[in-house]
Amino acid sequence: MTSHVVVGGCGFLGRHIVRALAERGDEVSVVDVVDFPTGSLAPKTTILDVSRASASEFDTLIGAAEVIHHYAWTTMPSTSNDDPLADLQANLAVTIKLLDAVKRRGGGRIVFASSGGTVYGRLRTIPVPECHALEPIVAYGASKVTAEKYLQLYHYLYGIDARIARISNPYGAGQNPAQRQGALTTFVHRALAGDMIEIWGNGEVVRDFIYIADVVSGLIALADAAPFVDGDPLIFNIGSGQGTSLAEIITLIKGELGRPLCVVNKPTRAFDVPVSVLDITKAHRDLGWAPKISLQLGIAYMVGDLTLDPTRRFSSR
């Protein structure tokens, strides 16, 4: 049995990770700023604003946990350019405080959820490998890159076992459409409600969509992996490896519901890269991981979940 602390464990990604770890018999503690009931899956939940927590509070939070999962992030790509300083201060302070706590206790393993959709910027290679230049065009991506650099810095200086997952565009039941992060999730929610769906641009923007269960299996594979022999931090793309346009997403949702949707096109946004697709060859080779759920099947699962319960907090698979 492995012990884990999931910082951001009440969020979309964190909740699903907590459930998967608990179901396999691991010991899991949750830290978050909101009081979201995780039930018996996470018997220890600490509600704390980690952005304001003291060094001693961080020491207590991580304790002797073998794996620290860092999934707490307060901003979104679509709004981060409105206040880059706030984006930086709110998120990087937590990352450094976590790293300092791990350093003080003498080391440990930390898994960080980065953003495969924003850290690379405009792609020169499609699908994009992990060795691609990091040239984000939104503050969200810039702060994620900076967090990655601090993880690598603490790895090289203090031997912290840093692991970075560059995740594409996750979707599934439990993702909050009100946060306007996750185009596919937003589209499905609005389609089920009979509301208008807004698409920025002509629908030709291409993204890499991955079902939440596949994200979870990828993150757990990364958390479980042995450190590389050469000592470098573990950095992996976690995505489907396939690109789908927003227009194609609309077609798939329409087909699943069996009725037309109300769609309106809005002006293109400057920070939207035209194509974002991740190369997942490295994760398949070194972690033995690959996504299992096709986009069409994932949409069917999500529609089924939300039809049964529009407020559902977990995907059923």
Active site residues: 140
From CA 162, how far away is CA 109, in angstroms rounded? 6
Whether 15 and 36 have beta carbons less than 8 Å apart is answered as: yes
From CA 134, how far away is CA 182, in angstroms rounded? 22
Helices 84-104 + 139-158 axis angle, to 10: 20
25: left (phi over 0), alpha (psi -120 to 50) or beta: left
R_g (Cα) of the chain, nearest Å: 19
What DSSP line would sit under 36-57, residue for residue? ---GGG-SEEEE--TTT--HHH
Query: Token pair for residue 249?
Result: 């997403």
| Tokens 């980065």 -> residue | 114
From CA 214, how far away is CA 186, in angstroms rounded? 19
Nearest to 160 by CA among 106, 112, 114, 113: 106
Query: Token pair for residue 284?
Result: 């398949």
